[in-house]
Structure 1
Amino acid sequence: MISHRLRMRPERIQSGAKPSTTSIGHAKTMKDSIGIDISKATLDVHRLKTGETAQFANSPTGLRALHRWIGTQMPDIVVYEATGAYHRALECSLSGKLPLVKVNPLQARYFAKACGTRAKTDTLDAQMLATMGKSLNLSPDMPIDKDQHVLKELQVARKALIKERTRLGNREKTQTFPLLKRQSKARLDQIARQLMQLEEALLALLKQSPKKARAFDILCSIPGLGPVTAMTILVECPEIGTMTRKQIASLAGLAPMVRQSGQWRGKAFIQGGRKFLRDALYMPALVAARYNPDLRQKYQTMTKAQKPAKVALTCLMRKLIELANALIKQDRKWLPKTA
């Protein structure tokens, strides 16, 4: 019964029933929203305005068939979940051609439960994504850069090598048999060479884009941010320079979450956001606490006020990403404040 009510909801709007003006997220006119549930092999599609459903192969041929199925009548939004490697082909093929909106799978599931839907099928998930796009009045994402997926793939490979280097380094300290020690040292030397090659490839790919090259130079001008951190920020946060202070802090998971209920006041904490972006800012915050004059003063003020060191460092991490966002937006390098 629940899924039946969800299917009937768009039909009532199309028949001329006026949506309540007090309802959250309801537009005055029906938004043509398409939901796509992505799996390894298939794409399940639901068009909310007409109630049509279809299934296509998650392959170049299937994506071309999907584009033809959508037709010449451009939808307002096409909503899909982030599914790792499985949504990459759709993004590469249709970004810039369709108004794509990528949503967090957990938020999509919470939305389905809020609508009273407990069942979970690919067809129903596609329908719920289309409903979510219309109900929350989502806006299309910016078209992705053609090199973004390659940059991300290189970055993932680099992080994997760093983890392996850490494991091997810890293991080498406890090894006593000469053969094992020689093999560990040989592998560590190989990892060092491979990391250098990956970083050179990342930098070369970033430098091919004048916009990214300029952003890289701006990031490197900030005391505390080195080339590796600058590359990580540009790969993990390609939207930098287009958001407000609160948006960039929230995206990095550095905006404090306030907890209050009645007279109870809980401690604020950080949560969510892009973990790899947040991790990349930790060591630069430690460096900035000593060598960045503005942030060093902020850190000392907080520690003198008996704030925990981790809280002060988290504040510096947020200041760094906000500063980076502001400088890229203004297209200027960091300059020390004059007395």
Structure 2
Amino acid sequence: MKCIGVDVSKQELVTYDVEKERVFPNTGALSEFEAFVDCGGDVLIAFEPTSTYSRRLEAFCRDKNIPALKLNPRLISHLREVHGKRSKTDKTDAELLYIYGVTWEKTDFENPQSGDRLAQALSAHLAVYRVTQKARVAHQGVFEALSQDPSTPKALLDELAVTIESLKEKEKACVVRMQALISEEKSASSALQALLSIPGVGSITAITLLTLFLRYPGTDRRQIVALAGLDPVEYQSGSSVHKKARISKRGNQEVRKRLYEATLSAARFNPAVKDVYSRLKERGKPEKVARIAAARKLLLIAHAIYKSGDKYREPGGVKGLTVNTASDPEVPLTPKFPCCSWVLWWGGGVKEWVFDLH
């Protein structure tokens, strides 16, 4: 298999394929890059995802059905030390990507065709929602501060109030557009309704989780926790160095934020999450530790519900439970993935690692 290492920047694609370095414009449909790549041959493209700059290359690989190896940007800095590269340039980065690509196991390559376009579209809308929400909160802070000052002109306060209302309307419009996109796909729409049935999960949290699950459909519970950055990491060496465990924070920051905010409600109204949160607080753990444990629990519940396709049911044993449906309100519980038993299992699993997270 021919490997091409590609260093992606805003304007250029710097490639290395053991023969020589080549530079192509990162614009349009990547026609010059397409002419260079033998799309009909056995080709692998290795690159670092760089936010929106690499989206064009990702779409190119997906449309041309070319295997792509997307590497964590943290990896290249370590590879540079291993291979003794003192300089940091686009060329050396492309060369390191090539070296890693040719040594990777072929069976581990992922076909970009399996990527979900809906997840990418939702990610774009969520980005707009975040910016709009941040602007609205900032304007509200200024409005509240200035409203306490008698010397503030009323016209200025009225203008701020209009701006705040406008931003609120934009936030609602973002949610409506995302819901409309999801409704176009029956499976995604059903999954969203199942996620919304979880106590403590609102529209934005449900859409954020659905986007994560659509982007990584084949993950297990351990992997989905890592993708959210809620997996525990340890730092230990010999007998003298033994730091307390903590979460990695290497996953999706937005998912962690939404889950953490959702625990403010879920820790009160979701029995499974409330149980984890209460037990940690009773043991004297800090509020933040209890919230993180609750967020992890909520994520695992949501992931199991997404996998099963069933709506949320309070934990309490599988026998005798029923699930309401539109066609038959009393259908015996026969899920492909027994969520309730998973929830009870998770309750024991959390004890193994979460109590000492700081």
Task: Tell me if both proteins adopt one fold, taking TM over 0.5 as the criterion.
Answer: yes
Is contact 2:235–2:242 with CA below 8 Å preserved after alignment?
A: yes
Letter in 2 for 1:157: V
Is contact 2:48–2:70 with CA below 8 Å preserved after alignment?
A: yes
Matches within 5 A, 1:179-328: 179-263=155-239, 264-271=241-248, 272-328=250-306
Is contact 2:119–2:215 with CA below 8 Å preserved after alignment?
A: no
Q: Which residue of 2 aligns with 1:19?
A: none
Total equivalences in the alignment: 305
Of stretches 234-243 and 305-314 in structure 1, the one that deviates more from structure 2 is: 234-243
**How far off its partner does 1:292 sit?**
0.9
Q: Which residue of 1 aligns with 2:23?
A: 55
Letter in 1 for 2:11: A
> CA distance change for structure 1 residues 184 and 237 in 2, over 3 Å: closer, same or farther?
farther
- 1:102-125 Cα offsets, whole Å, 9 max, x none, are 222232222222222121222221
Query: 2:76 is matched with which residue: 99, 108, 117?
Result: 108
Query: Equivalents in 1 of 2:8, 2:309: separation in Å?
Result: 38
Gap regions ≥5 residues in structure 1: 1-30
Letter in 2 for 1:192: K
- 1:49-100 Cα offsets, whole Å, 9 max, x none, are xx35432211235x2332332212122x311112122112122232251112
**How far off its partner does 1:194 sit?**
0.8
Query: Equivalents in 2 of 1:269, 1:91: separation in Å?
Result: 33
Query: 1:165 is matched with which residue: 136, 140, 143?
Result: 136
2:90 is the alignment partner of 1:122: yes
> CA distance change for structure 1 residues 147 and 240 in 2, over 3 Å: closer, same or farther?
closer
Query: Equivalents in 2 of 1:174, 1:102: separation in Å?
Result: 46
Query: Equivalents in 2 of 1:94, 1:211: separation in Å?
Result: 25
Is contact 2:85–2:92 with CA below 8 Å preserved after alignment?
A: no
Query: Equivalents in 2 of 1:45, 1:245: separation in Å?
Result: 36
> CA distance change for structure 1 residues 251 and 154 in 2, over 3 Å: closer, same or farther?
same
Q: Secondary structure at the match of 1:116?
A: coil
2:122 is the alignment partner of 1:151: yes
Query: Equivalents in 2 of 1:101, 1:185: separation in Å?
Result: 49
Query: Equivalents in 1 of 2:244, 2:104: separation in Å?
Result: 30
Identity over aligned residues, as a percent? 28
Q: Secondary structure at the match of 1:324?
A: helix
Q: Secondary structure at the match of 1:174?
A: helix
> CA distance change for structure 1 residues 209 and 52 in 2, over 3 Å: closer, same or farther?
farther
Query: Equivalents in 2 of 1:173, 1:289: separation in Å?
Result: 30
TM-score scaled to structure 2, two decimals?
0.79
**How far off its partner does 1:203 sit?**
0.9
Q: Which residue of 1 aligns with 2:145?
A: 174
Query: Equivalents in 2 of 1:66, 1:258: separation in Å?
Result: 43
Letter in 2 for 1:153: A
Q: Which residue of 1 aligns with 2:315?
A: 337
Query: Equivalents in 2 of 1:135, 1:317: separation in Å?
Result: 37
Is contact 1:257–1:268 with CA below 8 Å preserved after alignment?
A: yes
Query: Equivalents in 1 of 2:264, 2:129: separation in Å?
Result: 22
Q: Secondary structure at the match of 1:37?
A: strand
> CA distance change for structure 1 residues 80 and 226 in 2, over 3 Å: closer, same or farther?
same
